[in-house]
Every structure is written in structure tokens, then in C-alpha cells.
Amino acid sequence: MIFNNLYLRKLKKTFSLIKMNKREFLKTSLVAVGGLGLLPNLTISAFADGNQNDKQKKFAKKTLQVNKREKLLSVLDQSKPNRYVPAAFFMHFNEKFGQPAVQRHIEYFRATNMDMMKVQYELSVPKLDIKKAEDWAKVPVYGKDFFEPELALIEVLAKELKSETMILPTVYCPFNLALQTLGFNVVQHAKENPDAVAKGLQNLTESVLIYVREAIKRGADGFYYSTQGGDSKHFAETDLFKKLIAASDMPVLQEISDNALLNILHICDYESQYNEILKFRNYPASIINPPFELKNGDRIRVKNVQEEFHRPVMGGLYRHSVISGGNFNQIQPEIDNLMHEAPQNFILAADCTVHSDWQTLRQVIDYAHDWREKH
């Protein structure tokens, strides 16, 4: 099995049990492991005692189904395929903060039956008067007050939904904040004086770390981390990728990996496509959400991603395909084709945000959930 460090520690703690008789040990162990999502759809009484009849077992199974938290975490167990296929699709809402945003997030979660609460990130850092590379020293560290609108949203959603699903706020990488600060000229400045730009990125990295740490205090279970800058438009496979992008991504990803249950790495190609994605293999992440295809047009096969990254994969559907705007009958064949070649540890999703009818997404998600049981 492959888990992140925190998950392993929790697993070890689960099995550090005090003295008990054999039947009590079995019952407690199964409850604990089921709670961690290692045995999805587990029914405790049917396993703990050998004398239940079929009617009792069916009743236990009906009443003790694990929730979306456990089902999502079960994907991390790479010793066997996840029979239940979690699914989730994301979109931006007009309601950005406050109670309207809370309500919209919850409405979407309920309507689509998706398996995680992915909290949209809608803040932007201010543009600064940066005219040359040396001006990146002006970039401040943004404290938790700056992130408060987003943190308040996370806190309320955690209180509302944490008992039934994972709370996963979106994290924009430090380079994305650098693009917000100046725009594409950051690339030119980095080529002229990478050390000067690195100083600004260090402050932005510290800002993102403040957000992550505070979000965990407010109830975040993990994060959906969006990396940018390694694409063909920016730094691709140059030394500047290592010096600026990886150097600013890694501290945040390590912080998440060490202190949260789940860390989804979204390799974002919104700005431009990638020449290759294997340079991200050493990034700390528990699940990989790759782009759909490379710049040369080669399809990125989700099964290959699990084999190359040795981690579960989320994705498989192209955001500009029928998942955005198509009806279920148009989307179903695409899901069938994908599921036949999907890796054993898999979450159905798109490669980025979609523009879809909520009811159609509900049909897609429900169809994915028991696809492996029916095919």
C-alpha cells in the first residue's frame, strides 16, 4: 500500500489497541479500518460475528455504509482497485464569498452527489508597480487577514459538511500569484535576473503557507493544489523551472503532505500545454490530476500516470469535450471507454473546471459510482 505520511501514522495508531478478547479485537479493528476507508461498504456486525443470518447481514450492510470521506480515502489503498469510483467536477460560481458562496457550494455538492467538497479559490493579490526584476523585492508576505474571506468560507463549509465528506480548499501556487502581481512579464524578469524574482516568489510562497496552515485550523482535510509555470509558455524544462517553480511549489506541497489527509496535485494547463509532465514525479502528493493531453497532441493516459507516478489518479475527461455542454447519452460512451482503461485506483473527473448542467453531472457521477460493480 502507498499512503501519505500522516495517513500511515493514523493507520499505525488504529492498530495500537489495548488488551481485549478476540471477538472485541476483531470488531474494533474492523470499525477502525472501515473508518479509514480501507474496507469500503464494510458491515461491522456481519464480519465480527459468524452467526448472523443473511437477513441480518443485509440489514447491517444497508445501515452501516461508509460515507464519502471513507470512500474517497479508500482510493489511496493501492493494494487493490477501488470498486466504488468517486467522482467530482468543479466550476466557478458567481457567488464568491460569504453566505451566498456557502449556500452555492452546498447546493452544488448536494445536486451533483460529488464525493468531495472542493472549495473554490477566488482571491487575487493586488497588481504592483514592478518595472524591472529588482522590483520583485517589493512583493510583501500576505498574512491571514488577506485570506480571511476564503478562510471564513472554508470554516463554515467544514462545520456543515466535514462529517460526511472531505473539505478540500483550492490552493493556487506562488507562481500563479506572481502572474496576478505582474502578468507575463514575470517570465522576462526571471530570465534577466532569476535571483531577484526568486525573492519575490519566496514571499509569495510564505503567503501561501500562511493560507494553508490557517485553512487546516479552520477545518480543511486536505487541498487541491494547482501548479503552473512548468508549461511550454513559461519555463517548461529549463533550469528556471527548478529554480523558481519547483522551489516555490515544494515547500507548500510538503507542508500539506505532512499535515493534511489528502493532497491532490492539479497539473494545470489553463495558460498553456506541457511538453511533458514527468518532471512532477518527485512532487509530494497523494493523488495526481493530470492534463488531458500534451502540447504535441499526445493523449495523457490516466493508467500510465498511475504507473509512472505510483499514485492514484483523478481525471480522464477533457474539460472542452462533451462533459461541458453535452447530455448524458453523449457523455456515457466516453465514460465507458475511459473506465475500461482507467487505473485501478481512480477518481473520475475532468482536467480542469467545466461548464455543465448540474443534473447532467449528477447522472455522470451516479453512473461512475457503481460502474465497476456493473461492468
Helix then strand then coil, in percent of the chain rounded to 5, is 50, 10, 40
| pTM of the predicted structure, to 2 decimals | 0.84
* Residue 42 pLDDT > 50: no
Name the phi and psi angles at 83, rounded to 5: -70, -40
As a whole number, mean pLDDT of residues 47-68 equals 50
Model confidence band, residue 103 (pLDDT cutoffs 50, 70, 90): very high
* Boundaries of every domain in the chain: 5-66, 81-374
CB atoms inside a 10 Å sphere around CB 352: 21
CATH code for the structural domain at 81-374: 3.20.20.210
Closest CA to 286 of 315, 252, 251, 260: 260
Per-residue pLDDT reduced to its tens digit, 215-272:
999 999 999 999 999 999 999 999 999 999 999 999 999 999 999 999 999 999 988 9
Per-residue pLDDT reduced to its tens digit, 132-166:
999 999 999 999 999 999 999 999 999 999 999 99
Whole-angstrom Cα Rg for the chain: 22
As a whole number, mean pLDDT of residues 21-49 equals 35
pLDDT, the chain, mean: 87
Specify the higher pLDDT residue, 217 or 54. Answer: 217
CA–CA separation, 326 and 138 (whole Å): 47
| Res 325: pLDDT | 87
Least reliable range by pLDDT among 46-55, 67-76, 230-239: 46-55
The residue written with cell numbers 505582474 in the block is: 182
Least reliable range by pLDDT among 23-27, 104-108, 174-178, 338-342: 23-27
Count of residues for the chain? 375
Closest CA to 256 of 288, 285, 217: 285
| Res 54: pLDDT | 60
